[in-house]
Structure 1
Amino acid sequence: MTETLFALDAAHERIREAARTLAAEVAPFAAEADDATEVHVPTAEALRRSGLAAYVVPREFGGHDDTLDPLALAIIREQLMAVSAHLDSLFGMQGVGSYALSVGGSDELRREWLPKVARAEAIPSIALTEPEVGSDLRGITTTIAQDGDVLRISGRKAFITNAGAADFACVLGKEGDGYSMALVPTDSPGLRVTSGPELIAPHIIGELHFDDVVVPAVNRLGEPGKAFALMLQTLAVFRVSVAGSAVGLAQAALDEAVRHATSREQFGKPLMALGSVSQNLALSWAEIEAARALTYRAAALAASDPLAHIAETSMAKVIATETSARVVDRAVQAMGRFGLIRGSVIERLYRNARPVRIYEGSTEVLLDSLARQLAKRTTS
């Protein structure tokens, strides 16, 4: 891997090395894992043994730190995504799927589930999007209603990561004039799981159908009707970790292209000596370092108050994911016909670079939000 220009403190350097060790363990079967549409058992077992899932829950419930460290999450995902999108997703979803529980769940509920999440023994998911609702989550139609000491949930969620593998889902639904969340074990009566569409980059994805699903009222996450802020906080924390993933993907693509360009000759000289190739790869290096610096800074800011720094984490997600797309495209171009071989490392990176520009806030949606925030700052 090209040496990064960004220095980390000793604690975060240890975290990065632990993530690199896990990635190296998974590397021999990464291609097989990345073709999986259900949990790839050897990859999940490697994640479990690594202990890295403990970074996604508070220390009180088996985690490493008193509160989640977004910088640690971004660093870990940077290393994992460079080797396997499946591994990155398994790790990332341990946090994304359980964060609302960590922040908004009762002590009883957290004691029941979070230690299992920290040990990667329970797989969580978060159920936000619906067949007709993606970015505009205020348009959801799934309902949550309190009936005495239970909550009743009805509706349908689509494009849900881990849907067929999760042990529980944190579900967003309409409740009166507001939005609420509830933890729903996936073995609850009335909950049916169906497979989702096949994606260009294989993924564990499916639909959740709630037919008057009943859970105890203690399974409520956050206050009634006020869970939209809890959902936004989840995105604020983990959106920047997606930026970390994108940086790792871009770095892996650059490394692959540089290996090719320094070993293959054309016109009597290495490809790396040809101006157009070398300049594009040098530009890619500079852009990756810029994206990494922004990602690490945004993650560090998010540690104190995720919602207060949602602009910075959104910027990092936009810049890092758009950078990864450009870098992977340049890498394929530099490798010529060798960049087009199905099943090659660069081909997997090319396919995996596309979804990160869409999930957890598409580039266009985030830019619209940033534009609104920019206008407010300019006029205030």
Structure 2
Amino acid sequence: MSIDQQELFALPAEYRDLQAEARDLAASCADIAARADEADSLDTDTRKRLRASGLARVVVPARFGGRYERVDSLAVTLVREQLAAESAHLDSLFAMQGIGSYGIAVGGSEELQREWLPKVANLDAIAALGLTEPHVGSDLKALTTTVVERDGKLVVNGHKSFITNGGDADFYSILAREGDGYSLVLVPTDAPGLSTQRPHQIIAPHVLGDVILENAEVPIGNRIGEQGKGFGLVLATLATFRVSVAGAAVGMAEAALREAVRHANGREQFGVNLSRLGSVPEHLASSWTDIEMARSLTYRAAAAAARDARGNLHLSSMAKVGATEMAARVIDRSVQIMGRFGLVRGGKLERLYREARPMRIYEGSTEVILDSLAKQLIKDRH
């Protein structure tokens, strides 16, 4: 391969610089990562350091204090790859600023955008997206939350569950039925009729809560986009940010492999260095190969999503499935290589093992995404 051909596979300088910034932020949070990753409420130190880095500006358009003209899927993915390698809490805080506010960025009124997006960029306001309900997960069209106009207000009723940043967010972008369609509505935390609770905790501690809306009232101007067209905004959000989950998975897998290599190189068993014993070399080489294949698809999908997120959702979906399933394999192998040392509660690898498991479920489970991809494949090739 010539030098010129090699350059075709290199990230532009601005993206490499962004990676370096994210890597520096992740390193600066290493001393608080173990504590933050066990928290079920927002870690104030993590928030301060993310704010100081300015990286949250990546998830907001430039005219509202952001870094790029519009939200760039590749930039978000590259940042998440670095942050997730060190702290799931840091990664989630960064990602949710974009996921919770993207509907406003692309469909909100000028007034809503000017009120909330600069606060999101500076972490003066914490964002959240309210989709799932106690009995509604992947089948969002079955949701029961409703919004109606009454006396010059929007009145929202429903129960949203397993909401990231639930209980700590300053506003929620709530998907609700309105007439024959679905609308997205911005509901601030201080809206009358909104309350939160934390009835659940998952295997990897997470800022997670339920949002209860009992005749919650907001101005009519808090409807994000057109009445009944909220589903399109949700799909646009998923199309833009789904591939970034793959970036986070690649970062986590690489962090696990680093731990496994360090351990294997520094340990001797049966008179042989562990890195040369039995199946360990194969596990290490297979993991390295898996990571690089997943990274290649992830970068390709993220670059395509940056150009046309909705038009390339199939690539983002493939990357999300491929990278999260890969991370599960690589981290499991790494635990096996480290043996009992990989099982120590609170250790880096044990945390990665727990944090990787939910990634195969949220933002579209592997099975649901594969079913959707199969339908698209059959339709396109018919």
Give the structure-1-normalised TM-score.
Answer: 0.97
Is 1:147 equivalent to 2:156 in the alignment?
Answer: no
Q: Among residues 94, 98, 102, which one is paired with 1:99 in the alignment? A: 102
Match for residue 327 of structure 2 among 324, 328, 351: 324
RMSD over equivalenced CA pairs, Å: 1.1
Partner in structure 1 of residue 5 of structure 2: none
Partner of 1:280: 283
Query: What is the match of residue 197 of structure 2?
Result: 194
After superposition, residues 145-224 of structure 1 pair within 5 angstroms as 145-147=148-150, 149-224=152-227
Answer yes or no: is 1:267 the counterpart of 2:277. no
Gaps of 5+ in 1: none
Change beyond 3 A, Cα 1:6–1:344 = farther
What secondary structure does 1:360 align onto?
Answer: coil
C-alpha distance in 2 between matches for 1:357 and 1:113: 31
Q: Which amino acid in the other structure matches residue 122 of structure 1?
A: A
Alpha-carbon distance in 2 for matches of 1:378, 1:148: 51
CA contact 1:39–1:204 (8 Å) conserved in 2: yes
Q: Does residue 218 of structure 2 align to residue 237 of structure 1?
A: no
Residue matched to 1:360: 363
Paired residues of 1:280 and 1:330 also in contact (CA < 8 A): yes
The reply to whether residue 130 of structure 1 matches residue 133 of structure 2 is yes
- Three-state SS of the structure 2 residue aligned to 1:100 is helix
Q: Does 1:83 align with 2:86?
A: yes
1:291–1:319 contact (8 Å) kept in structure 2: yes
Measured in 2, the distance between the counterparts of 1:275 and 1:99 equals 49
Query: 1:339-378 counterparts in 2 under 5 A?
Result: 339-378=342-381
**Runs of 4+ off more than 4 Å:** none
Report the alpha carbon displacement of residue 377 of structure 1 after superposing the two structures with TM. 1.1
Separation of aligned partners in 2, 1:346 and 1:245: 15
How far has the Cα of 1:145 moved from its partner? 1.2
2:16 is the counterpart of 1:13: yes
CA deviation string 1:141-200 (max 9, x = no partner): 000112353211111100001011100000000111111101010110100111131211
Query: CA shift at 1:56, angstroms?
Result: 0.4
Which residue is equivalent to 1:23?
26
Amino acid at match of 1:290: M
Matched, 1:121 2:128: no
Tell me if structure 2 keeps the 8 A contact 1:6–1:293: no
Alignment length (residue pairs): 375
**Deviates most, 42-51 or 141-150:** 141-150
- C-alpha distance 242-26 of structure 1, shift in aligned 2 (>3 A): same
The 1-side partners of 2:309 and 2:206 are apart by: 27
Q: Counterpart amino acid of 1:284?
A: S
CA distance in 1, matches of 2:199, 2:79: 28
CA drift of 1:6 comes to 6.2
Q: How far 1:240 sits from its partner (Å)?
A: 0.5
- Structure 2 length as normaliser, TM-score? 0.97
Report if aligned partners of 1:93, 1:125 keep a CA contact under 8 Å in 2. yes
Amino acid at match of 2:73: P
Asked if structure 2 preserves the Cα contact closer than 8 Å seen for 1:61 and 1:115, the reply is yes
Moved more, 313-322 or 268-277: 268-277
Q: Name the counterpart of 2:4.
A: none
Residue 368 of structure 2 aligns with an amino acid whose one-letter code is V
SS at match of 2:279: helix
d(CA) in 2 for partners of 1:375, 1:347? 40
Tell me the SS of whatever aligns to 1:22.
helix
1:241-295 C-alpha deviation (Å, 9 max, x unpaired): 1110000000000000000011101111111112410111111101101111111
2:305 is aligned, of 292, 302, 305, to 302
SS at 1:303 equivalent: helix
Unpaired stretches in structure 2, ≥5 consecutive residues: 1-7
Verify: 1:53 aligned to 2:56, yes or no. yes
Amino acid at match of 1:170: S
Q: Counterpart of 1:222 in structure 2: which amino acid?
A: G
The residue type equivalent to 2:91 in the other structure is D
3-state DSSP class of the match of 1:292?
A: helix
Q: What is the alpha-carbon distance in structure 2 between the residues aligned to residue 375 and residue 149 of structure 1?
A: 47
Letter in 1 for 2:296: A
CA deviations over 1:219-240 (Å, ceiling 9, x no partner): 1111111111110110111111
Distance 2:151 2:183 in 1: 16
Amino acid at match of 1:143: T
